[in-house]
């Protein structure tokens, strides 16, 4: 599957890139928040639980954002939406 994603033969590659980049960015924001509010975070919870629950919330959020494109891609990828005879003039 990863080989198909890398080769660009599937239309899910942009969604895959969006999901991975979103998870990285949200994790970096969580790390920045932890550095900024170190005392408050450790007073509320331990470090492992903070990052695992944050990762769980991030995965859920990215899943919601990618749900609609993942459901629409099979419809938009059908032959009637492709313009195979299109030439640039």
The pTM assigned to this predicted structure is: 0.69
Q: What is the pLDDT of residue 53?
A: 92
Residue 53 domain boundaries = 23-76
Q: pLDDT band at 81, cuts 50/70/90?
A: low
Distance between terminal CA atoms of the chain? 36
Q: Which of 27, 1, 26, 22 is nearest to 13 (CA)?
A: 1
Q: Is residue 56 part of a domain?
A: yes
pLDDT single digits (tens) 24-41:
999 999 999 999 999 998
Q: pLDDT band at 22, cuts 50/70/90?
A: very high
Q: Which of 17, 14, 22 is nearest to 64 (CA)?
A: 22
Residue 89: pLDDT over 60: no
Q: Is residue 5 part of a domain?
A: no
pLDDT single digits (tens) 40-69:
988 988 889 999 999 999 999 999 999 988
3-state secondary structure of 63: helix
Q: Is residue 86 part of a domain?
A: no
Q: What is 65-88 written as a DSSP string? A: HHHHHHHHHHHHTSGGG--TT---
User: Based on the structure, what is the number of domains in the chain?
Assistant: 1
Distance from C-alpha of 47 to C-alpha of 44, rounded to nearest angstrom: 10
Q: Which of 87, 88, 86, 66 is nearest to 11 (CA)?
A: 66
Q: Is residue 4 part of a domain?
A: no
């Amino acid at each position: 599957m990863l080989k198909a994603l890398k080769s660009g033969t599937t239309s899910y590659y942009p969604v895959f890139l969006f999901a991975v980049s979103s998870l990285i960015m949200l994790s970096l924001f969580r790390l920045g928040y932890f550095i900024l509010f170190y005392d408050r975070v450790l007073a509320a919870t331990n470090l492992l639980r903070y990052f695992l629950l944050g990762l769980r919330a991030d995965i859920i959020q990215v899943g919601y954002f990618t749900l609609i494109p993942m459901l629409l891609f099979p419809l938009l990828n059908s032959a009637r939406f492709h313009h195979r005879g299109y030439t640039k003039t």
